[in-house]
């Protein structure tokens, strides 16, 4: 599928829920979120139908996200249904991993290829304070994923005054394990935008103070620039939506759990798929509309940030 700027759109992120068992300060609104009635949330059958249509039209990479996708009941069976779509080359999930320990084996068996795990600090106290969750659960989840052979990437959001002193600890993980550790610039999004602005730390500041060596990223649509430490098993990635936007190679669309297509993370424009789907209409024209409105680039540098919170959009 090509968008208006001839970008090949082959990647769909599907949010299964906007609910989460964590409360990361840069993601979730401080005052909690409004729980939508179940009728507003797409059923697994509806999501499967939409995903299948996308796959028939050229999407070959799907990431399941949220909120926290693992809190949704039936997630493993849903992964299995997606796993049966032969044209999908890459089926991944972004998760906080707190519930992964017990599900890693069945997810792998169901066809999941990889997990991206959010891990912003290795300090249990800082972790509790930042996320409200328990670091041990997450580490157990990561270990279980590694044990069953799921690919693992760690996503670490850079936060001034919170985890900047732990950068070397994260880098050192790549000596021990063959994993990708990816540092991500915090983005001002929705109700947590002022927290993100306050804690912003650029990837360039980090790279400057390390002896990382740049390596090729073989995936041209990947937003990460890749590096390695001499003698390390794993790699280090930097994702810089603020300092060096990667919109030119953006290949993704997002489906929210309540059935809207979002063509750009940083735009408030949504295309309703749920209403036409439930009326029995052909939803392909609405997908085409999303491709048409996908902007060339985001406007965060103009101080614009969107209204919705990240847990709703599906990061």
- Closest to ligand SF4 by CB, 104 or 310: 310
Q: Which stretch binds ligand SAM (CB under 6 A): 54-62, 216-224, 229-237, 307-315?
A: 307-315
91-120: contacts with ligand SF4 (CB under 6 A): 96, 118
**Residue 182 beta carbon to ligand SAM: minimum distance, rounded to whole angstroms:** 9
5-34: contacts with ligand SAM (CB under 6 A): 20, 26-27
195 binds ligand SF4 (CB under 6 A): no
Q: What is the 3-state secondary structure (H, E, C) of the chain?
A: CECCCCCECCEEEEECCCCCCCCCCCCCCCCCCCCCCHHHCCCHHHHHHHHHHHHHCCCCEEEEECCCHHHCCCHHHHHHHHHCCCCCCEEEEEECCCCCCCCHHHHHHHCCCEEEEECCCCCHHHHHHHHCCCHHHHHHHHHHHHHHCCEEEEEEEECCCCCHHHHHHHHHHHHHCCCEEEEEECCCCHHHHHHHHHHCCCHHHHHHCCCCEEECCCCCCCCEEEEECCCCCCEEEEECCCCCCCHHHCCEEEECCCCEEECCCCCCCEEECHHHHHCCCCCHHHHHHHHHHCCCCCCHHHCCCCCCCHHHHCC
> Which of 9, 12, 27, 115 forms a contact with ligand SF4 (CB under 6 A)?
27
- Closest to ligand SAM by CB, 242 or 287: 242
Q: Kindly list the strands in the beta sheet with 213-215, ordered across the sheet, starting from the edge strand earlier in the chain.
A: 213-215, 224-228, 235-239, 180-185, 151-158, 114-118, 90-95, 61-65, 11-15, 252-255, 260-262, 270-272
184 binds ligand SAM (CB under 6 A): yes
95 binds ligand SAM (CB under 6 A): yes
Q: Give phi and psi for 213, each to the nearest 5.
A: -110, 130
- Closest to ligand SAM by CB, 50 or 196: 196
Contact string 28-67 vs ligand SF4 (x = CB under 6 A)? x-------------------------------------xx
56-75: contacts with ligand SAM (CB under 6 A): 65-66, 68
Contact string 122-161 vs ligand SF4 (x = CB under 6 A)? ---------x------------------------------
Q: Which of these, 188, 184, 174, 270, lies nearest to 222 by C-alpha position?
A: 184
What is the end-to-end Cα distance of the chain in Å, rounded? 22
**Residue 191 beta carbon to ligand SF4: minimum distance, rounded to whole angstroms:** 12
**Residue 57 beta carbon to ligand SAM: minimum distance, rounded to whole angstroms:** 25
Contacted entry of ligand SF4, ligand SAM, none for residue 186, CB cut-off 5 to 8 Å set by kind = ligand SAM
Contacted entry of ligand SF4, ligand SAM, none for residue 196, CB cut-off 5 to 8 Å set by kind = ligand SAM
> Which of 14, 311, 312, 313 forms a contact with ligand SF4 (CB under 6 A)?
311
197-256: contacts with ligand SF4 (CB under 6 A): none
Q: Which residues of this chain interact with ligand SAM, rule CB under 6 A?
A: 20, 26-27, 65-66, 68, 94-96, 118, 155, 157, 184, 186-187, 189, 192, 196, 310-311, 315
Q: Which residues of this chain interact with ligand SF4, rule CB under 6 A?
A: 20, 22-24, 27-28, 66-68, 96, 118, 131, 310-311
């Amino acid at each position: 599928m090509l968008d208006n700027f001839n970008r090949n759109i082959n990647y769909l992120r599907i949010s299964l829920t906007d609910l989460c068992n964590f409360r990361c300060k840069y993601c979730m609104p401080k005052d909690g979120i409004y729980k939508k009635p179940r009728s507003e949330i797409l059923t697994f059958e509806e999501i499967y139908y939409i995903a299948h249509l996308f796959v028939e039209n050229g999407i070959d990479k799907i990431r399941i996200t949220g909120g926290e996708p693992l809190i949704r009941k039936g997630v493993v069976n849903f992964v299995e249904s997606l796993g049966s779509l032969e044209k999908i080359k890459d089926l991944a999930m972004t998760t906080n991993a707190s519930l992964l320990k017990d599900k890693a084996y069945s997810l792998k068996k169901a066809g999941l290829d990889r997990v991206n795990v959010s891990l912003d600090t290795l300090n249990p106290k800082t972790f509790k304070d930042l996320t409200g969750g328990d670091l041990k659960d997450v580490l157990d989840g990561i270990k279980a994923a590694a044990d069953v052979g799921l690919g693992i990437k760690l996503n670490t959001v850079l936060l001034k005054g919170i985890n900047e002193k732990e950068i070397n600890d994260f880098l050192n993980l790549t000596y021990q394990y063959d994993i990708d550790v990816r540092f991500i610039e915090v983005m001002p999004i929705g109700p947590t935008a002022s927290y993100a602005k306050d804690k912003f730390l650029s990837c360039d500041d980090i790279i400057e103070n390390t002896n990382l060596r740049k390596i090729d990223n073989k995936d041209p649509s990947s937003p990460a620039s890749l590096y390695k430490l001499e003698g390390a098993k794993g790699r280090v990635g930097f994702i810089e939506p603020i300092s060096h936007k990667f919109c030119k190679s953006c290949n993704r669309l997002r489906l929210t759990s309540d059935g809207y297509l979002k063509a750009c993370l940083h735009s408030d424009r949504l295309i309703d798929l749920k209403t036409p789907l439930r009326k029995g209409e052909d939803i392909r024209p609405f997908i085409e509309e999303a491709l048409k409105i996908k902007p060339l680039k985001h406007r965060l540098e103009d101080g614009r940030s969107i209204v919705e919170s990240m847990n709703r959009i599906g990061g």
